[in-house]
Amino acid sequence: MLAFKTLSVLKSFHLEQKLLTYARFVHHKFHLVKPSYNTDYLLNPANIPEIQHNIEHRKGVGNIQLVHELNNRLRSLPANASEAEKSQLNDQLQAELRKIPNRTHPGVLQHGADPKVVRYYNEKPSLGEGAKVFEFSEMTKKMNIFRMEKLGNFTGHKSYYLTGELAELEQALIRYALSKLLARNFHLITVPDILPARIIESCGMSTHGERNQVYKLNYPHETLCLSGTSEMALAGYFAGTVTEESRLPLKLTAVSRCFRAETSALHEEKGIYRVHQFTKVEMFSVCRPDQSEAMLEEFRDIEVDLFDALGVHFQLLDMPACELGAPAYRKYDIEAWMPGRGMYGEISSCSDCTDYQARRLGIQYRSGSDNSQLNYAHTVNGTACAIPRMLIALLENFQNKDYTITIPEPLRPFMRGKDKISRKKVLPELKLTKRLAQEEIC
């Protein structure tokens, strides 16, 4: 009798555990609407040459011939074809449609493979004849406000600490950028750092293969990733939503940590130029198709105003088709002069993605006299401030002979009125565990 009761309790317990597991699965599974590609354009045989030409300019990713081959095979299936066969062909077709990049702005195609310099801003700095110009890592090491060495025992490669006034400068840049954006009627939103892989892929970044920029988390029910930029979380915020036309354009901003698995061994990209995580202030807009071009120009002008006011020398670039990635229709980059490296380095960009992300995420708006017409919105994104590279630009451009850094005037209200960053006392040296063990043996 006792054994029977014990067996019943165990069965009840296991059933409860199964139900709890199912409940967790249902709760955590992210339900994303199916992508709706512009098949009127993509599946029209008359458009094959134009689409193929665009693919060739966009690094050759995508196969429009295969798309049409799969579509023809699907349409020619006999009436008695199995549902499994239809589903398999349709899945293959959807996978190939997903790879086709966005169209390209006609003006961009005239640039060829090189960016077009739109304009230069401010003058290059001069420390005087014979003065040594230090690179960011050299400068901050002398000033004792930055640590990147000997961190492998607990944070890994490409990790860093900002300390003292350099950490203050990071926060000053964030507050400076936000103050300008909020004054221009952007809405501030806090976003999650962990996103479903499908959101990231719908925004145009691959999460597959051994070599990509995405960190994946070990989660059983849904492929979750660390977000590479808050653009993805902001786009995901509107996934599967319908916005009233009168509310457009929507302008949002977010401050987030960005996680990138990429690294570089190039000498000019050493230090914090390319790291695994950093802070960024992002701009994002959902708008009507006839508003996205003007919104891109607004984002570009905001970025220019932010950096121009800081006095940094930079160039504004209209990027060629081969540098647009899959989602962008047009893209501007801003590259600041970094004298310690002797090069221009990208500090910001902005992109008009037209309906590329909206069709994959189901971002729509309602229009018409009776609000009955549903249309796919356009999305625009831009970087108001990417902290590590802005720190590089500021410290390398405004370094002084006495190992101090002049703080640009617009940032001083956010730095407690300070006009300079000075050298600090030496911080205690960190030692790797292996080295400590060797010292103990000796």
Q: Which residues are annotated as a binding site?
A: 229, 260-262, 275-278, 282, 346-349, 381
Burial class (CB in 10 A: 0-12, 13-18, 19+), 208: exposed
Q: How far is CA 176 from CA 179, 334, 399, in A?
A: 5, 18, 21
Indicate the annotated binding residues for L-serine. Answer: 229, 260, 282, 381
Tell which residue, 170, 159, 165, has the closest CA to residue 145: 165
Compute CA 198 distance to the chain's CA centroid, rounded to the nearest angstrom.
15
Question: How big, in percent rounded to 5, are the helix, strand and coil portions of the chain?
Answer: 40, 20, 40
Contact assessment for residue 384 and residue 279, using Cβ atoms and an 8 Å cutoff: no
Contact assessment for residue 378 and residue 289, using Cβ atoms and an 8 Å cutoff: yes
Tell which residue, 147, 139, 185, has the closest CA to residue 164: 147
Beta carbons within 10 angstroms of residue 53's beta carbon: 13
Is the sign of the CA dihedral 51, 351, 214, 30 positive or negative?
negative
Indicate the annotated binding residues for ATP. Answer: 260-262, 275-278, 346-349
